[in-house]
Amino acid sequence: MLSNLRIAYVLLLITKISETMASTSTSEESTVLERSSKSFLKELVFELSGSSLLWPCESTKHIYIQSGRYVPRNVIITRAQLQRDIMYVALPRYKHGVPFTLGKIQLTKGQCITKIAPYPCWAIQEEGNCQALQSVVDIKLDHYGFLWILDVGIVNTLEQPIRRCKPKIVAINTLDGKVVKSIDINNLLTTASRLQFLVVDYGSNGKPFVYIADAGAHSILVYDIAASKSYRIVLPKATSPITDVLYMVLTSPGTGNSTLYFTYLTSANLYSIKTEYLRMGKGGDGSIVSVGTKPYGKQMVLLGADGGNALFFRYKGENDIYLWNTKTCFKISNLQEIQRGEDCRLTTQILPGHKHFMWALESNFHDFISERTGCNGASIVLHPVLQECDD
């Protein structure tokens, strides 16, 4: 679907430069291209900050600050979804002082700092109100325009965790901002449960399914939305050595045969399961497959997919982004470095969207966890994924 990441440079030619190049010489052409490319790319870098929220008025902001309900440095974006020039973001309540946990951003080209507004409204963000959102840790926008939300119900998880409400899946129709589904998933949990990521999938009959990574209980939770049925797929011990981060990425080749790839951060292998098995609640009898051993013995962070066969990842503590075409064998020679990262931030997600790019969401989450971000909080950036041209 967007597997050729050199599309970025094609778009630069088409959208910004073609009309200005007709009368220039070859040498002038390359000079104009270089300058225009840099200018265009700069306009597509969006800086996000917990100190740049959209408030109904200054007095409301002042009340939140004075009461401790708003602490800018405690706000961070960890997950996002793109819909044309709109970005929906998850702002988990890892610490106190996060006024809303689901946001919306209008991406305006050339705007340096963008404002984050509560989505769909302020009322649904009330902490302690179990009809509202408590702590959103992951979101997924489907092709029908429904935004699916994983609310774990626990706040202040990096300080003194408080269980405000039961965990739930919420679906919002982005056409009108109304909640169309709210599903209590507490019956799927154990005392060890720790919910982390959410994936939305549609069967060949058009029925939606939600898959949730339960790292603490070494499970993948499956919820059949249409039938209101749920399953717990307990992972084999070999796939889950210890309680850890459980990453999941869905690839969809367009044939209706989707595959869920998953791995624990510290696991030596990458695994997969066809979603046809997940939908039936089957996790045994060879349905879970070891795709291969992780390269160089390194720990892998799965970042996302392009909606087709491309899976993106990086190595723990490293900034470079890699692509693996899942139609090929999982081995070093088939892993392509597509972008070199910067030093201060790490990519937390790769997602398709705005202007036909693949986008990278980056932050210094490691500094956020260890209280090293300063008064302004985490450094968060959204930018296109670009592969450097060969000389």
Residue pLDDT, tens place only, 58-88 = 999 999 999 999 999 999 999 999 999 999 9
Q: Is residue 175 part of a domain?
A: yes
The total of other beta-carbon atoms located within 10 Å of residue 56's CB is 10
The pair of structure tokens assigned to 201 is 């999938």
**How confident is the model at residue 172, as a pLDDT?**
99
Measured in whole angstroms, the distance separating CA 370 from the mean position of its chain's CA atoms is 22
Q: What is the pLDDT of residues 288-341, one digit of tens each?
A: 999 999 999 999 999 999 989 999 999 999 999 999 999 999 999 999 999 987
**How confident is the model at residue 386, as a pLDDT?**
78
**How confident is the model at residue 36, as a pLDDT?**
45
Rounded-to-integer distance, Cα 108 and Cα 47, Å = 11
The residue-averaged pLDDT of 39-62 equals 88
Judge whether residue 179 has pLDDT over 80: yes
E strands present in 91-207: 102-106, 117-118, 136-141, 146-151, 154-155, 162-163, 168-173, 178-184, 195-202
Run of H or E residues at 47: strand 46-48
Rounded-to-integer distance, Cα 283 and Cα 287, Å = 6
Q: Is residue 310 part of a domain?
A: no
Q: Is residue 98 part of a domain?
A: yes
Q: What is the pLDDT of residues 232-278, one digit of tens each?
A: 999 987 666 667 899 999 998 766 689 999 999 999 999 999 999 99
Rounded-to-integer distance, Cα 210 and Cα 322, Å = 26
Rounded-to-integer distance, Cα 259 and Cα 348, Å = 21
Q: Which pTM was predicted?
A: 0.89
The pair of structure tokens assigned to 203 is 């069967």
What is the number of structural domains in the chain? 1
Which residue intervals of the chain are DSSP H helices?
7-12, 18-21, 26-43, 58-66, 275-279, 365-369
Asked if 64 and 129 count as a contact pair (C-beta separation under 8 A), the reply is no
Mean residue pLDDT of the chain comes to 87
Q: Is residue 96 part of a domain?
A: yes
Q: What are 173's strand-pairing partners?
A: 146, 178
Question: Would you call the peptide bond into 236 cis, given omega within 30 degrees of 0 as the criterion?
Answer: no
Q: Is residue 88 part of a domain?
A: yes
Rounded-to-integer distance, Cα 272 and Cα 288, Å = 6
Rounded-to-integer distance, Cα 391 and Cα 105, Å = 37
Q: Is residue 63 part of a domain?
A: yes
The residue-averaged pLDDT of 6-11 equals 38
Going by C-alpha positions, the residue among 259, 278, 349 that lies closest to residue 48 is 349
3-class SS string, 203-230: CCCCCEEEEEEECCCCEEEEEECCCCEE
Run of H or E residues at 321: strand 321-325
Judge whether residue 356 has pLDDT over 60: yes
Q: Is residue 228 part of a domain?
A: no
Q: What is the pLDDT of residues 106-165, one digit of tens each?
A: 998 767 678 999 999 999 999 999 999 999 999 999 999 999 999 999 999 999 999 999
**How confident is the model at residue 43, as a pLDDT?**
80
Q: What are 261's strand-pairing partners?
A: 249, 272
Burial class (CB within 10 angstroms; exposed 0-12, middle 13-18, buried 19+) of 110 = exposed
The pair of structure tokens assigned to 126 is 């009330």
Return the SS3 of 98. coil
Q: Is residue 179 part of a domain?
A: yes
Q: With pLDDT > 70 as the criterion, what percentage of the chain qualifies?
A: 84
What range does the domain containing 377 cover?
Answer: 33-184+357-386
Rounded-to-integer distance, Cα 90 and Cα 172, Å = 14
Measured in whole angstroms, the distance separating CA 315 from the mean position of its chain's CA atoms is 17
Q: What is the pLDDT of residues 362-384, one digit of tens each?
A: 999 988 998 888 777 889 999 99
The pair of structure tokens assigned to 118 is 């509560």
Confidence of residue 348 (pLDDT cuts 50, 70, 90): very high
Return the SS3 of 245. coil
